[in-house]
């Protein structure tokens, strides 16, 4: 715990989309003289307030919100390094004015990179360049995913083998680390793990720990930047999904389609003015916008029939619901598999309080009151209150996930790629593989057609 004593205090609210993180952050800011720092990658951009779930100004209740809608549509997209640099300056300013910084957002990749002073995020002297500037300096970073993977295999085959061939973000970042530092990411990993092993009990070898991680920027690192209190609003996915579906319907009712149409018109205007818009980055990747694109493009053409337009719109709404559910699952996996492990490896699990947000009727007791008690204890240096989850459920979600080697393996028969030894071992027993490798049955040999036994002709002999 001595690692955290001299660090600035920061309250961090995490959880999946749709659990009320922003609302809780405002309540805590009012109670403890705080200001809010946005930790959601898409809420950094100006536009799509409904699709990105920006808290409406009246609901911000006059609490200062930083890094919210601060990037214009025509500006370069931010890298995680740019975000960390900007957020660090904001937090320093908030603390200097005697306020409590409260970090809230669903991009836990950003949150974790900010909490832990990761040398791989900082990369090298070129690490703070925007994505566009990096691609101008190193065109390979704008190449196809397959081309980037081939380049990564040349410079660092060990790290290249850990990523799924379709995982563009991880492949690109590994290549970016190499280009900005001049060093292999796998070597930086080993040094990082060796440094940590000198300060924490060794339970695994460095190479084992390296292979367990799923992203070169999410290793827990030493030292941490801040002394954090992490409040995790937890809702079981089975109970969260209906809530998320209802929220998408509500977003449609409150103007999602209209704001997507407006953004689409701005994109077309930018391109007409000669500004190339990369729709694979930034605000253009927002859930609820990209799903509506077929509908929006259809409406800008000769004009679809009313029936066709309605079908495209309904398909987009359903795809938005599916994407939202998948995003919630990814967020929960990140918290369990990466953020909690980072806390564990820094002996900081006692800085986590889990809040049960399942029953909205119990929000004042299970979430709000417990969060207020936790922040109060945190600021006074007292032990945190117990999580509000039932002990059995708490033990399940806080249990470390099984560790195993991460390495891409390909089944040429099924044309499928697996990333873990467990998946590889189970694949030969799968229905798809057994069907693909089954020896075809020669039914003709087993059941030869019966020939006519007499020699009588089958035509008229007359």
Q: Which residues have C-beta within 8 Å of that of residue 449, sequence separation ≥ 6?
A: none
Q: Which residues have C-beta within 8 Å of that of residue 143, sequence separation ≥ 6?
A: 151
CA distances from 455 to 14, 458, 461, 462 (A): 86, 9, 13, 17
Q: Are strands 100-104 and 9-15 parallel, antiparallel or unpaired?
A: parallel
Q: Can you state the percent helix, strand and coil of the chain, rounding each to 5?
A: 55, 10, 35
Q: Report the alpha-carbon distance of residue 311 to residue 307 in Å, rounded.
A: 6
Report pLDDT digits (tens) over 127-167.
Answer: 556 677 788 889 998 889 999 999 999 999 999 988 888 88
Q: Report the alpha-carbon distance of residue 218 to residue 209 in Å, rounded.
A: 12
Residue 226 tokens read as 């801040």
The SS3 call for residue 111 is helix
Return the bridge partners of 102, or none.
Answer: 11, 36
pLDDT computed for residue 216 by the predictor: 41
Q: Are strands 406-411 and 416-420 parallel, antiparallel or unpaired?
A: antiparallel
Q: Report the alpha-carbon distance of residue 232 to residue 330 in Å, rounded.
A: 15
pLDDT computed for residue 449 by the predictor: 64
CB 232 within 8 A of CB 355: yes
- In order along its 462 residues, the chain shows pLDDT tens digits of 456 767 899 999 999 999 999 999 999 999 999 999 999 999 999 888 999 999 999 999 999 999 999 998 878 888 888 899 999 999 999 999 999 999 999 999 899 989 987 644 454 445 556 677 788 889 998 889 999 999 999 999 999 988 888 888 889 888 988 998 888 988 887 776 666 555 544 333 323 323 333 344 444 444 689 999 999 999 999 999 999 999 999 999 999 999 999 999 999 998 888 888 888 888 999 999 999 999 998 887 656 677 788 899 999 999 999 999 999 999 998 898 888 888 888 888 889 999 999 999 999 999 999 999 999 999 999 988 877 666 656 665 666 555 555 677 888 888 788 777 777 788 888 888 888 888 777 777 767 765 544 555 555 544
Return the bridge partners of 38, or none.
Answer: 104
Residue 43 tokens read as 């809420």
pLDDT computed for residue 209 by the predictor: 29
The conformational region for residue 63 under phi > 0 = left, psi -120 to 50 = alpha, else beta, is beta
Neighbours of 356 (CB within 10 A): 21
pLDDT computed for residue 440 by the predictor: 77
Q: In a 10 Å sphere around its CB, with 0-12 CB exposed, 13-18 middle and 19+ buried, how is residue 238 labelled?
A: exposed
Length of the chain counted residue by residue: 462
State the DSSP string of 81-106: HHHHHHHHHHHHHHHHTTPEEEEE-S
Of 18, 12, 5, 23, the residue nearest 367 (C-alpha): 23
Q: Report the alpha-carbon distance of residue 34 to residue 22 in Å, rounded.
A: 13
């Amino acid at each position: 715990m001595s690692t955290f004593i001299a660090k600035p205090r920061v309250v961090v609210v995490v959880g999946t989309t749709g659990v009320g993180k922003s609302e809780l952050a405002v309540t805590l800011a009012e109670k403890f003289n705080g200001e809010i720092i946005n930790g959601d990658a898409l809420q950094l951009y100006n536009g799509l307030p409904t699709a990105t779930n920006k808290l409406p100004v009246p609901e911000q209740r006059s609490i200062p919100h930083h890094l919210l809608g601060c990037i214009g549509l025509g500006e370069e997209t931010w890298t995680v390094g740019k975000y960390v640099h900007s957020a660090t300056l904001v937090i320093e300013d908030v603390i200097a004015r005697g306020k409590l910084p409260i970090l809230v957002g669903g991009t836990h990749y950003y949150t974790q990179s900010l909490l832990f002073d990761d040398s791989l995020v900082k990369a090298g002297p070129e690490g703070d360049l925007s994505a566009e500037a990096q691609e101008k300096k190193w065109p390979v970073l704008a190449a196809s995913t397959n081309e980037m993977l081939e380049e990564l295999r040349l410079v660092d085959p060990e790290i290249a083998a850990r990523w799924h061939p379709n995982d563009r973000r991880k492949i690109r970042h590994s290549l970016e680390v190499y280009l900005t530092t001049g060093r292999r990411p796998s070597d930086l990993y080993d040094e990082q793990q060796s440094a940590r092993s000198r300060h924490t009990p060794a339970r695994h070898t460095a190479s084992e720990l390296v292979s367990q991680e799923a992203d070169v920027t999410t290793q827990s690192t030493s030292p941490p930047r801040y002394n954090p209190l992490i409040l995790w609003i937890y809702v079981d996915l089975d109970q969260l999904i209906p809530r998320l579906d209802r929220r998408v319907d509500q977003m449609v009712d409150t103007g999602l389609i209209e704001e997507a149409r407006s953004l689409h018109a701005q994109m077309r205007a930018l391109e007409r003015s000669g500004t190339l818009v990369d729709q694979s980055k930034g605000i253009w990747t927002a859930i609820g916008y990209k799903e509506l694109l077929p509908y929006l493009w259809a409406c800008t053409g000769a004009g679809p029939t009313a029936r066709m337009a309605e079908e495209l719109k309904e398909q987009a709404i359903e795809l938005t619901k599916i994407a939202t559910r998948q995003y919630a699952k990814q967020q929960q996996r990140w918290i369990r598999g990466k953020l909690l492990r980072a806390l564990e490896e820094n002996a900081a699990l006692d800085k986590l309080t889990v809040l049960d947000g399942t029953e909205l009727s119990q929000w004042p007791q299970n979430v709000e009151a417990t969060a207020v008690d936790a922040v109060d204890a945190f600021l006074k240096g007292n032990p945190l209150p117990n999580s509000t989850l039932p002990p059995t459920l708490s033990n399940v979600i806080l249990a470390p996930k099984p560790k195993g080697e991460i390495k891409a393996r390909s089944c040429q028969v099924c044309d499928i790629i697996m990333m873990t030894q467990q998946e590889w071992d189970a694949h030969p027993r799968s229905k798809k593989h057994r069907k693909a490798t089954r020896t075809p049955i020669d039914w003709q040999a087993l059941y030869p057609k019966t020939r006519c036994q007499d020699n009588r002709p089958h035509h008229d002999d007359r």
